């Protein structure tokens, strides 16, 4: 018994040591980013000796970032785009998932399979056809193009469907017997029960949209319509880069993502487990 207990304790120690090591490796780049955000260009890449906190921290980097470029405009564009895309994905994904999970109609399985199969197709494959389609619709250099392209998510439909299938069908049948329409069942019963899944999808969608670089790079050309990720690139010129300001902007752009995750984290693990995405 003692030998088995010692082995169990030793196994836990090894697991925790590995997890701590992985956590340290993952957090070092973020600490370096914080350190670089209060340094001058010369100090950013100074390695001998490396200093985490410089003798004269350049806190004014966080002030200059708002004046060197129209950072406020970029933040506004990114917030506008991210909030609308996140809302639309939550609406369309949950609505479609309810249909696939709780309604019976012809070719339901085939249609769902065809839709979900698009997850396996890299975006780069249909990037050019999408651009041509948006240009012919007159949406080039408009945030509306990004909204139209990202308002639907096959991954979101799959995740929400997995969650809805865990809700007993008897609940929907009882509501139908009471005379409730499918729209009311969806709004009054399914949505309130799906907070964990919706929170998980919110985090995934918010982070993906907020950090998207390639999409805005393709569709947005005017400076007043650019997002944060494109705005930070403006500090990179042909001959030099202002890395201190880039890191300061990166830290500021990370704050909304952290806020969303901290607010929704209590639902995150529950949502991942209940939607069948756990390993």
Alpha-carbon torsion angle 246, 247, 250, 251, nearest 10: -150
Q: Which domains does the chain have, with CATH numbers?
A: 58-274 (1.10.3720.10)
Q: Is the pLDDT of residue 13 over 50?
A: yes
- Residue 141: pLDDT over 70: yes
What is the torsional sign of CA 171, 88, 158, 206?
A: negative
> What is residue 43's predicted lDDT score, i.e. its pLDDT?
78
Residue 92 has pLDDT above 50, yes or no: yes
Q: Calculate mean pLDDT across residues 137-156.
A: 86
Mean pLDDT of 63-86: 88
pLDDT-derived band at 270, boundaries 50, 70, 90: low
Percent of the chain with pLDDT over 70: 92
CA distances, 11 to each of 15, 21, 163, 279 (Å): 6, 15, 34, 21
Place of tokens 């408009």: 142
Question: pTM for the whole thing?
Answer: 0.81
pLDDT digits (tens, 9 = 90+) for 116-137: 888 888 877 888 888 888 888 8
Question: Does pLDDT of 85 surpass 90?
Answer: yes
Can you spell out the DSSP letters for 151-199? S--HHHHHHHHHHHTTS-HHHHHHHHHTT--HHHHIIIIIHHHTHHHHH
Task: From residue 30, give the alpha-carbon distance in Å to each of 36, 114, 227.
Answer: 10, 40, 22
- What residue spans of the chain are helical by DSSP H? 2-36, 41-44, 61-68, 71-102, 108-117, 127-136, 143-150, 154-164, 169-177, 182-185, 191-193, 195-210, 214-219, 228-232, 243-274
Q: Is residue 87 very low, low, confident or very high in pLDDT (cuts 50, 70, 90)?
A: very high
pLDDT digits (tens, 9 = 90+) for 105-119: 888 888 888 888 888
């Amino acid at each position: 018994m003692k030998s088995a207990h010692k082995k169990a304790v030793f196994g836990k120690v090894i697991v925790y040591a590995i997890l701590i090591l992985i956590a340290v490796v993952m957090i070092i780049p973020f600490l370096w980013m914080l350190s670089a955000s209060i340094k001058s260009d010369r100090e950013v890449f100074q390695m001998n000796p490396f200093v985490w906190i410089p003798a004269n921290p350049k806190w004014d980097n966080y002030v200059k970032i708002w004046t060197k470029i129209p950072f406020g405009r970029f933040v506004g564009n990114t917030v506008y785009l991210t909030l609308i895309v996140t809302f639309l994905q939550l609406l369309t994904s949950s609505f479609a998932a309810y249909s696939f999970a709780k309604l019976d109609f012809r070719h339901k399985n085939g249609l769902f399979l065809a839709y979900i199969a698009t997850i396996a197709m890299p975006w780069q494959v249909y990037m050019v056809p999408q651009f041509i389609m948006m240009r012919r619709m007159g949406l080039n250099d408009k945030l509306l193009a990004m909204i139209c392209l990202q308002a639907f998510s096959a991954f979101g439909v799959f995740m929400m469907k997995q969650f809805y299938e865990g809700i007993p069908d008897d609940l929907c049948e009882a509501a139908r017997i009471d005379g409730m329409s499918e729209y009311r069942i969806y709004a009054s019963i399914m949505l309130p029960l799906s907070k964990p899944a919706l929170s998980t999808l919110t985090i995934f969608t918010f982070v993906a949209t907020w950090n998207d670089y390639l999409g805005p790079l393709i569709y947005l050309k005017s400076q007043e319509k650019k997002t944060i990720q494109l705005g930070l690139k403006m500090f990179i010129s042909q001959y030099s880069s202002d890395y201190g300001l880039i890191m300061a902007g990166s830290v500021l752009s990370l704050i909304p993502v952290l806020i969303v995750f901290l607010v929704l984290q209590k639902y995150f693990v529950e949502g991942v487990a209940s939607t069948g995405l756990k390993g």
